[in-house]
């Protein structure tokens, strides 16, 4: 009896926050996983799409693989009523948000919404500026579990303060909610974001291409490699309950299979939130297989929560390491170029030292076995030099598992 009461108290402590606090602690101990409407549907989102996506999350095995949040991005909003309460766009969401939240919850998933710290969202819908507490209360009443909060139409606003205001409003409304800061990295959100939100965008928007810049006039969106390169220097800021967010995924949105594979792998090395952005209802079997690769997801979701780092760059070939819980490591060899590249790694000559986590592995002194996380193949031990080919725009992603050597 005493024991079960203690458990209840501990659960309450873990998921609630007092009005002085700016966020609900403990909601994102590993990077959030889910889906978001923007990358594929843009403004063309409605309740039918959201229901079908929720069904597909379950039927495709995405939910079982860990994807939990179904997030509606921009353009769900209608106008405010006479008293200032935000209304969903009735044409697109005729049944209302509460009914939609009930449906998504009934599928064992959670529902997320989008708003903006400014007067208007990027899609021109009403923003939350001046209505933060009222909007937070509305989301809580509807049963919303995740809020992505954008940064359009914010002239004259100070970023940290604006996000603090919404953080306070969400906490006051009382329903635990993951708070995703979408400020694009303009005001170093990694410095003040951890106290306010569970994740913060580090860059402008992603685009479904390998290494491109898409010019939209006064702003650009960026391919996977461009976004990856913009993460340099940020890893110390991430950890359990506060993550760097290099933006939602473009897997299944038009890149090649190997590029999609590399994209997910690198997001896992970065301990990035894994928010799918493709149409889950029509995705190919190959896209589904990529998105639900449990071994790669396990790297992303590693409980230690230490973001990976670039260990070496040799032309188009990069070697990344990420320390995992226990003594394991993830290693990812990324081939940025088009041509296939031979890769040799003499473990015993490579001391892998990570100042941030304090992890230091001398493969000369400690034996590991490597597993290829995309093929499941055993790559042998770190006693032998690893020699392989990494195809263009692809990765070799490995989990190194510590082996206990027999004594004597």
- Residues with catalytic annotation? 150, 205
By CB under 6 A, tell whether 187 contacts ligand GLA.
no
What CA–CA distance (Å, rounded) separates 29 from 327?
Answer: 20
Burial of 69 per CB tally in 10 Å (0-12, 13-18, 19+): buried
By CB under 6 A, tell whether 205 contacts ligand GLA.
yes
Contact 343, 312 (CB under 8 A): no
- Return the number of the residue (205 or 302) whose C-beta is nearest ligand GLA: 205
By CB under 6 A, tell whether 145 contacts ligand GLA.
no
Residue 349 dihedral angles phi and psi, to the nearest 5°: -95, 0
- Return the number of the residue (122 or 324) whose C-beta is nearest ligand GLA: 122
Contact 60, 109 (CB under 8 A): no
Token digits for 123? 């899609």
Part of the chain binding ligand GLA (CB under 6 A), chosen from 120-128, 250-258, 293-301, 334-342? 120-128
What CA–CA distance (Å, rounded) separates 290 from 267?
Answer: 13
Question: Using the rule CB under 6 A, which residue among 46, 145, 150, 300 binds ligand GLA?
Answer: 150
Q: How far is CA 131 from the centre of its chain?
A: 27
By CB under 6 A, tell whether 73 contacts ligand GLA.
yes
What CA–CA distance (Å, rounded) separates 96 from 89?
Answer: 9
Residues binding ligand GLA: number (CB under 6 A): 10
Q: How far is the CB of 142 from ligand GLA (least distance, A)?
A: 19
Q: How far is the CB of 168 from ligand GLA (least distance, A)?
A: 22
What CA–CA distance (Å, rounded) separates 396 from 317?
Answer: 11
- How far is CA 243 from each of CA 20, 30, 59, 149, 179, rounded to the nearest angstrom? 22, 9, 29, 15, 11
By CB under 6 A, tell whether 122 contacts ligand GLA.
yes
- Return the number of the residue (249 or 299) whose C-beta is nearest ligand GLA: 249
- Return the number of the residue (28 or 227) whose C-beta is nearest ligand GLA: 227
Q: How far is the CB of 113 from ligand GLA (least distance, A)?
A: 11
Q: Which of residues 36-55 bind ligand GLA (CB under 6 A)?
A: 38
What CA–CA distance (Å, rounded) separates 69 from 114?
Answer: 13
By CB under 6 A, tell whether 183 contacts ligand GLA.
no
By CB under 6 A, tell whether 300 contacts ligand GLA.
no
Contacts to ligand GLA by CB under 6 A: 38, 73-74, 114, 121-123, 150, 182, 205
């Amino acid at each position: 009896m005493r024991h079960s009461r203690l458990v209840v108290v501990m659960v309450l402590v873990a998921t609630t926050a007092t009005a002085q606090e700016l966020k609900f602690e403990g909601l994102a101990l590993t990077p959030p996983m889910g889906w978001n409407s923007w990358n594929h549907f843009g403004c063309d989102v409605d309740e039918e799409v959201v229901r079908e996506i929720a069904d597909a999350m379950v039927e495709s095995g995405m939910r079982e693989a860990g994807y939990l949040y179904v997030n509606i991005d921009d353009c769900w909003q209608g106008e405010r009523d006479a008293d200032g309460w935000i209304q969903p766009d009735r044409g697109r969401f005729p049944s209302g948000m509460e009914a939609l939240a009930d449906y998504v919850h009934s599928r064992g998933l959670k529902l997320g919404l989008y708003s903006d710290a400014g007067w208007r969202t990027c899609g021109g819908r009403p923003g939350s500026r001046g209505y933060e507490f009222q909007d937070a209360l509305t989301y809580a009443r509807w049963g919303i579990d995740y809020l992505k909060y954008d940064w359009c139409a914010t002239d004259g606003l100070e970023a940290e303060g604006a996000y603090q205001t919404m953080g306070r409003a969400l906490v006051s409304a009382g329903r635990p909610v993951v708070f995703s800061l979408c400020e694009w990295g303009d005001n170093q959100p990694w410095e003040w974001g951890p106290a306010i939100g569970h994740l913060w965008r580090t860059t402008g928007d992603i685009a479904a291409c390998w290494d491109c810049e898409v010019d939209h006039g006064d702003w650009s969106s960026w391919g996977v490699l461009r976004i990856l390169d913009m993460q340099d220097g940020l890893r110390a800021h991430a950890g359990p309950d506060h993550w760097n967010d290099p933006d939602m995924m473009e897997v299944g949105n038009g890149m090649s299979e190997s590029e999609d594979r590399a994209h997910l792998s690198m997001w896992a090395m970065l301990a990035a939130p894994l928010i799918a952005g493709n149409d889950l209802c029509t995705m190919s079997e190959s896209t589904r297989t990529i998105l639900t690769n449990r071994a790669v997801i396990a790297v992303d979701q590693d409980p230690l929560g230490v973001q990976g780092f670039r260990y070496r760059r040799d032309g188009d070939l990069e070697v990344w390491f990420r320390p995992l819980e226990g003594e394991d490591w993830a290693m990812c060899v990324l081939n940025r170029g088009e041509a296939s590249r031979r890769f040799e790694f003499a473990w015993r000559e490579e001391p892998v030292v990570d100042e941030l986590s304090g992890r230091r592995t001398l493969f000369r002194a400690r034996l590991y076995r490597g597993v290829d996380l995309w093929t499941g193949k055993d790559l042998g031990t770190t006693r032998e030099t690893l020699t392989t080919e990494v195809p263009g725009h692809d990765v070799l992603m490995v989990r190194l598992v510590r082996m206990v050597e027999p004594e004597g």
